[in-house]
Amino acid sequence: MNKGYSILGWNHPGFGCSTGAPYPLQEENAIDCVMRFAIDYLTFPEEQIILYGWSIGGYTATWAAMNYPSIQSLVLDATFDDVLPLAIMTMSSSLEGLVRNIIRDHFNLNIAEQLNRYNGTVLLIRRTEDEVVCTPSGNSLSGNRGNMLLTKFLIRRYPELFAENSECAALLARFLSADISTRKSIIETLNVDEKQCLNFVAKDIEKNNGIINYPSMLGQDCDSKIKQQIILFLATMYMKDQPSSHCTPLAVDLFQPGWNPTTAMSITE
């Protein structure tokens, strides 16, 4: 509200004044009703809607995004790629098979899978001291499931950057596991140049007559070093950090639509 946005909030089924129970199908039906209410009754243009999902709310936010692909953007805050690793971690190892079957059959909250069915603007926000969405439990950066969400997202959108090159995936994992000073050092060591990376993005879009297509061919003709530079650049554009725990309110300045790759074309002109 401090930024001038109109806000439509809702309670999950079984919470607040909402009836029902928070099972995946009921969650999907609920967010679909919210979207239809916003578009049909409140007359919000779909193209101006920003979906914000915090924590487990990333499931309904990504479901809505893939079913309403014309939204302005999707913001995922303190969420995870897949609930299964988190569920396995909380139970005895002897029950892993049972947990795996129950989750996949009844509570398959695979946020990364749904995110990868949406091709629009995305912003991921990671809580650097998150104590909830980490495996193993704790608040280490290396175990934050937001890392895997970003990794799966980048691999799907920009597969050529990772093709036949395990070094790129390893570099991304090391970068996301590092503290601020170490990340800066990695960027400096690899000579990541923002303007050069934007040029590569712009040229890739120009090849498609100004239209963004995913999976993108970005990096197809680049050597390993250039690919690594672009990957780190994209990681900093798509994910922003908030130095806080899981439940701390989001800083106002971090609530933004996120980076739209088409802006690279105007910046590089």
Which tens digits make up the pLDDT trace of 72-112?
999 999 999 999 999 999 999 999 999 999 999 999 999 99
H or E element in which residue 205 lies: helix 194-207
Interval 167-174 mean pLDDT: 95
The pLDDT of 42-54, averaged and rounded, is 97
Query: Does 165 or 124 have the greater pLDDT score?
Result: 124
Structure token pair of residue 54: 């915090």
pLDDT at 166: 80
> CA-CA distance, 185 to 98, in Å (whole number)?
44
**Cβ atoms of residues 190 and 229 within 8 Å:** yes
d(CA 244, CA 129): 5
pLDDT of residue 136: 83
Average pLDDT of the residues of the chain: 95
b/e map 223-255, b = 16+ CB within 10 Å: eeebbbbbbbbbbbbbbbbbeeebeeebeeeeb
Cα Rg of the chain, angstroms: 19
pLDDT-based confidence at residue 138 (cuts at 50, 70, 90): low
DSSP notation for 207-252: HTTT---SS--TTTT--HHHHHHHHHHHHHHHEEEESS-TTSPPPG
Q: From residue 166, how far is each of 81, 163, 204, 250 by CA, in Å?
A: 21, 8, 23, 34
**Residue 144: pLDDT over 60:** yes
Nearest to 34 by CA among 25, 22, 42: 42
pLDDT at 267: 72
